[in-house]
Amino acid sequence: MTSLEDFPIQWAGPLAVVTLPGEIDISNADQIRDTLLAVLNRDVTMLVVDMTGTTFCGCAGVSTVARAHQRATANRALVRVAIRAPVVRRVFAITG
């Protein structure tokens, strides 16, 4: 069972900011996906995925964010992703 305590979450009314870890790969992607979906299930209108501290993101991490985006679209919510590391930006750009 996923707890909303797994990753730092800041709430501002219907806006939620979830801060992801420094490395995202197959070992933690499911936990991250479950957390993002749990946040979206709380009727947020915007989810900000804070990856500014993420220095590595494998394909599993990109898939996780994509799944959250799909859920947000179904819920009529927006998703914004904040990325600082060029290598993480590159992974997102390559995978679309």
Task: Give residue-wise pLDDT tens across range 37-47.
Answer: 999 999 999 99
**Hunting for tokens 């947020």 — which residue is that?**
44
pLDDT band at 96 (very low <50, low <70, confident <90, very high): confident
Q: What is the pLDDT of residue 20?
A: 97
Mean pLDDT, residues 60-83 taken together: 96
Q: What are 22-42's pLDDT values in tens digits?
A: 999 999 999 999 999 999 999
What residues contact 79, with CB distance under 8 A and at least 6 apart?
46, 47, 48, 49, 65, 68, 69, 72
Question: What average pLDDT does this structure show over 72-92?
Answer: 96
DSSP H helices in the chain: 29-40, 59-74, 86-95
